[in-house]
Amino acid sequence: MAIKLAPTSIRLAAIEKRRIAAAARKQGITSAKFIKQAALERAASPGGMALAGITASLKELIEEEVDAAIALDRIARRKAGEGRLYTGEEAWRELGL
């Protein structure tokens, strides 16, 4: 038996819509799926959502910190004459794409 889906709508400020869309893209899902998952997680564990949100934020900050550290290291190595710069075509070819 097929599950009948019922549409719903919410009103969002433009900035909220952009933030949700960006977060959904990072997870590789649609905004609708992102909102649905967040709502269902919150319904399942209203008290635990604060901790889950903090954990997700910390994970994202750590990932950004690691990315920044790698970028700064590469910049320093390049300034020291180490390494090589690739054109876009060379990079794609090197990756086999």
pTM of the model: 0.46
Q: What is the rounded average pLDDT for all residues in the chain?
A: 85
Average pLDDT of span 72-76:
91
**pLDDT value, residue 68:** 92
DSSP assignment of 62-90 equals HHHHHHHHHHHHHHHHHHTT-S----HHH
Res. 85 pLDDT band, cuts 50 70 90: confident
Give the count of alpha carbons within 13 A of 32, CB side only.
3
Res. 59 pLDDT band, cuts 50 70 90: confident
Q: Where are the domains of the chain?
A: 14-94
Residues 6+ apart with CB under 8 A from 42: 49
**pLDDT value, residue 73:** 92
Average pLDDT of span 50-78:
85
In this predicted model, what pLDDT tens digit does every residue of 1-14 receive, in sequence order? 678 888 888 898 88
pLDDT at 49 over 70: no
